[in-house]
Chain A
Amino acid sequence: MVPFGTDETIRRIVAEYSPLLLRLACTRLRSTADAEDAVQETYLRLLTTQPVFRDAAHEKAWLIRTTLHRASDIRRGAERRNLPLEEAALEAASDDPHSILLDAVHALPEKYSAIIHLHYYEGYAIKEIAKLLGLPAATVGTRLARGRERLRQLLKEDVL
């Protein structure tokens, strides 16, 4: 594949993957600004290391895994910082249905939230997610089922 370094390739990859990667980062990050940071750092990593990909699927898998990893790093960094109580109270008080759902997704273990999102938002089949995340298909199926169950408990209603 063409290395990530020419203007044309950079623009193609940024346009093609940014919507997917930004939303995926948001399964682990509450702040969209943090999600943007995670995605930009992923692209920078791609630019500086220039790994070779067998095909487009391999390229997409690398971007997805690296974004999730960066998002986790940023989240752990934020959790180490003490959030002011007033701010925490404000966040907890939100009754917007979108916020409630997003909070529930954030509360899921990371191994579930990415799979839930790739399946229910991006529409990937279990086998496709298995290839993207480098997991056995059976593991993806099990995590999908358990993630949905956990989400159901968090929302106290039937989901998906």
Chain B
Amino acid sequence: MNRDSYRDAFDSLSFSAGFEERTAELLCQRAHELEKERNNMKLTKTKKTAVLIAACIALLVVSVSAAVMLLSPSEVADLHNQPLLAEAFQTDDAILLNETVESGDFSITLLGLVSGENLDVLNQDLDATHTYSVLAIRRLDGEPLDNTTFDFMQYTMTPLVAGYPPTAVNNWTLDSGASGCAKDGVYYYLLDNKNLEMFADHTVYMAFYEGFAPNNSTFTVADDGSISFADDFEGVHALFTLPLDPSKADPAAAEAFVEGTGMTGWSNEPSGEEYNTNVQENEDGSQTIMITPAGEQDSMNNAFTAETFEEYIQEERVRMQAEVEAGVLSQEMCDKTIRELEKTLAGIRDGSTFAALLEDGSLFTGTTSQDAQAEWQQSEDGVLAVIH
């Protein structure tokens, strides 16, 4: 058997005629029904409010409170298609907060958090404990938020830890994943971080703000290590303190984690630049521009030359051969990876490719081309590479 016969076997499967058309029709119909339901709900709410205004001002106050009933963290997890997480939020391990901060036009509520293993059904290979946090945001003027009126990408929800620079412990270093969706006019965030309990002997914060990676334009660190928003930060922002159990702290793991980020320095003096930018002229006349968040080590310092990449290939060859001998990697896969690395090496030599070793030890490669106007990639550690 070969790849073609594999494809033939799956191509031999026959699905019902008109599946796509029928499915699209069903979904369009359901979308219209949902839209009608939403409109009906708006009308119903308006009528109820009018009745309450006529009846009694005191009752109106009650009705406003009722109108901002938020989903529970468990319901938000369900909304994000995460049944195991929804169950975890109903256990005694969950920390339910329901704390609200008003900022700008918004009311921001941290609903709760829970830590545990294998709670993410969409990524069941997470074998380490993660912390999941749920936050709700709504407009103070009552205007509903939905996926078109709330720009998820303009805001950041991230943990921070007193005693460590905001650049060292945040979403970008904690391998975080954020997702969001709206329900009944409220926008809900679900944030997945590496386990935060290891920091529990420090003050652990959850920050929500308008902006990107944390820097000294956004945050100030006091002499005692406590973190607050910078006095002149004008965007929407909220800072919550997480009541983690100090007995669950793992100071050694926390220190090792922070040391591993390589970002232990901090100054409250704004640099004036959010990013450091480096431009490399390639032999073919193109440019490679590496942009790194300010304060982060310049990844271009780790860019390979042809000679250093040859050494890297040799090291990888030895490492993978050991895996082959240990039975965890096939010889074919080892050979294939080496062939790919050799292609990258050829690209480095002719100027069509660049490669750099990132701080987490992963290999970053990109293709340079005269035709490429603005290709870009973002690696997991927040490094941007732009090729013009």
Contact = CB atoms under 8 A, between A and B. Distances in A.
Interface stretch (B117-125, B132-140, B194-202, B206-214): B117-125
A40 B122 CA distance: 17
A141 B337 contact: yes
Identify the interface centre among B125, B152, B332: most chain A CB within 10 Å of its CB.
Answer: B125
B28 interface: yes
Contacts of A121: 6-7, 10
B30 A101 contact: no
Per DSSP, are chain A's interface residues mostly helix, strand or loop, or mixed?
helix
Given A11-B24, A22-B19, A144-B333, A49 B122 contact: no
B2 interface: yes
Contact of B15 (A36, A137, A160): A36
Identify the interface centre among B9, B79, B329: most chain A CB within 10 Å of its CB.
Answer: B9
A92 interface: no
Interface stretch (A74-82, A83-91, A151-159): A151-159
A160 B27 contact: no
Nearest to A15: B20
Contact of A51 (B24, B125, B180): B180
Contacts of B152: 52
B231 interface: no
Contacts, number: 134
Interface string B85-111: 000000000000000000000000000
Interface residues of B, number: 49
Given A10-B28, A149-B330, A3 B9 contact: no
B179 A51 contact: yes
A111 B127 CA distance: 14
A60 interface: no
A58 B187 CA distance: 19
* Range of interface residues on A (Cβ < 8 Å): 35 or more
Interface of A: 3, 5-7, 10-11, 14-15, 18, 22-23, 26, 32-33, 35-36, 39-40, 43-45, 47-52, 54, 62, 65-66, 69, 97-98, 101-102, 105, 111, 117, 120-121, 133-135, 137, 139, 141-142, 144-145, 148-149, 155, 157-160
Given A10-B31, A49-B181, 9 more contacts: A11-B24, A14-B27, A35-B15, A97-B5, A120-B7, A133-B123, A139-B125, A141-B333, A141-B337
20 contacts: A3-B148, A7-B31, A11-B24, A14-B20, A39-B23, A47-B30, A47-B34, A49-B81, A50-B181, A97-B5, A101-B1, A102-B10, A102-B13, A120-B6, A121-B6, A121-B10, A141-B333, A141-B337, A159-B6, A160-B6
